[in-house]
Homo-oligomer: A and B are copies of this chain.
Amino acid sequence: MALVVIGGVAAGLSAAARARRISPDLEIVVLEKGPVISYGACGLPYFVEGRVLEANHLIVYTPEYFRKQRNIDVRTGARVVAISHPRREVTLESGAHVRYEHLVVATGARCDTCGPGSLPPHVFTLHTLDDATRLRAFLREKQPRNGVVVGAGYIGLEAADALRRNGLRVTVLERSQHLLLRSDDWWTAQVRKQLADHGVEVRCGVDVRSLDSPAVDFPADVVVLAAGFKPNVELAAQAGVEIGRSGAIRTDDRMETNLRGVFAAGDCAEVGHLVTGRPTWIPLSTTANKAGRVAGANAAGGRERFAGIVGTSIVGIFGKAFASTGLTAVQARAEGFSPVAVQVEAKSKPGYFGGSKTGVELVADRATHKLLGGSVVGEDGAAGRIDVIATALHAGMRVDQFEQLDLAYSPPFATVWDPLLIAAQQMMKEL
């Protein structure tokens, strides 16, 4: 009786690979609906941009690799249409059945800006390798002049960057009043300025529900839909898997669902948030890989826990990093904290080593003085700095502890008072 994994990208393949390590003899089958597996979905915008020259450069492993090197049976074009947990089997579109003892659901998410239905030829999503390949070909062949991106999340703004670098006029339409998924005015102002400085127009408060809507009545030779990201939970839900309040699959800290022996991980599943202590749905490939690994270990008979996430992410827009982790003040208030937020701007390193201004925002709780979240915006060192805040959130650190962190300093790399520490000093005055 096999371990069956539905989905052959980040979470699914992490689960399969980890299960193989735990159990050398287990039969493992991975069912992927698409034509390829194991592609770096986060690299798609850079293929559209032209920085990645070939789509297949983004493919990390082939089914053959998994078959030969890991003894894992990976099947592409294998779309699962039903799960029968009482019979411990899944049904493929072809009508075939595959029996399982343990199941890992890693069905991912989809971009569903305008609901189901086929898209006009100049309208694209940017979710699969095929999406990116078609968009890249369209840009080359049709030489569009005006691009519209719907949605100002990571993929939307990376797509805007890629289109702009290909010479298009670009307009981004965003339903909310905030950019890059963060309910924070300081952050949004930083993102807005960077887009404006590079000639990208942004319109907030524009709700695009249909391609016939007046909101998309722009001169758009090409449209990228990058809003309405939704977890693919229908298959699991129909089989009786519980869906959480976020709309994604509910799991425990072993990544097991309410159905014994059925695990879920990746963009289709919730995970625990270490700051709020509650289940959350923040689809990111880092989380997919980590949670998939835990799901695979447990599905193969191990006993591992997924600690949870703090929601760390980073995105590069025209050479500047926008990194964030934990809660915004708005989110923190909604969770019952008494948030205090501070923002500082300080040099990342000395001018003679090319240091530039780095913006840091910290959010802390007035009652406990614990850090709740933060963001870092800058041209160098933002990834490391957000990771320090993320590590502090994992540890439940207070601001007075964070303020004294023994961070590395030498002129080529940092300043003696790192922007993080200056922000913490500022926070100490406010608490």
Contacts and interface: CB of A to CB of B under 8 A. Distances in A.
Given A401-B307, A416-B10, A387 B407 contact: yes
Contacts of A52: 352
A408 B325 contact: yes
Contacts of A315: 410
A276 to B, nearest CB: 14
A107 interface: no
B406 A309 contact: yes
A40 interface: yes
Contacts of A287: 406
A43 interface: yes
Given A385-B384, A391-B392, A408-B323, A413 B312 contact: no
A412 B407 CA distance: 23
Interface in A351-393: 352-353, 381-388, 390-392
**Which one of A325, A352, A387, A414 has the greatest number of beta carbons of chain B within 10 Å?**
A387
**Which one of A406, A407, A410 has the greatest number of beta carbons of chain B within 10 Å?**
A406
Given A387-B407, A391-B395, A391-B405, A412 B352 contact: no
B286 A409 contact: yes
Contacts of A125: none
A311 B383 CA distance: 22
A178 interface: no
A387 B274 CA distance: 21
A46 interface: yes
A5 B400 CA distance: 25
**Which one of A274, A385, A416 has the greatest number of beta carbons of chain B within 10 Å?**
A416
A18 to B, nearest CB: 10
Interface in A287-329: 287, 289-290, 306-307, 309-316, 321, 323, 325
Contacts of A350: 40, 43
Provide the main secondary structure of the chain A interface. Answer: mixed
Contact of A42 (B10, B404, B411): B411
A182 interface: no
Contacts of A306: 404
Interface residues of A, number: 60
Interface string A17-39: 00000000000000000000000
Nearest to A51: B352
A155 to B, nearest CB: 11
A321 B349 CA distance: 14
Contacts of A352: 43, 46, 51-52, 57
Contacts of A413: 314, 316, 321, 382-383
A289 B406 contact: no
Contact of A388 (B46, B310, B387): B387
Nearest to A21: B429
29 contacts: A10-B416, A40-B350, A42-B409, A42-B416, A46-B353, A52-B352, A154-B410, A274-B406, A284-B409, A290-B404, A307-B401, A312-B406, A312-B407, A313-B408, A313-B409, A313-B410, A314-B408, A314-B414, A382-B413, A383-B408, A384-B384, A384-B387, A385-B387, A390-B405, A391-B392, A391-B395, A394-B397, A394-B404, A394-B405
Interface of A: 10, 40, 42-43, 46, 51-52, 57, 154, 274, 284-287, 289-290, 306-307, 309-316, 321, 323, 325, 350, 352-353, 381-388, 390-392, 394-395, 397, 401, 404-414, 416-417
Q: Which 7 A-B pairs have the closest CB atoms?
A: A384-B384, A395-B395, A314-B408, A316-B412, A383-B413, A391-B391, A307-B404
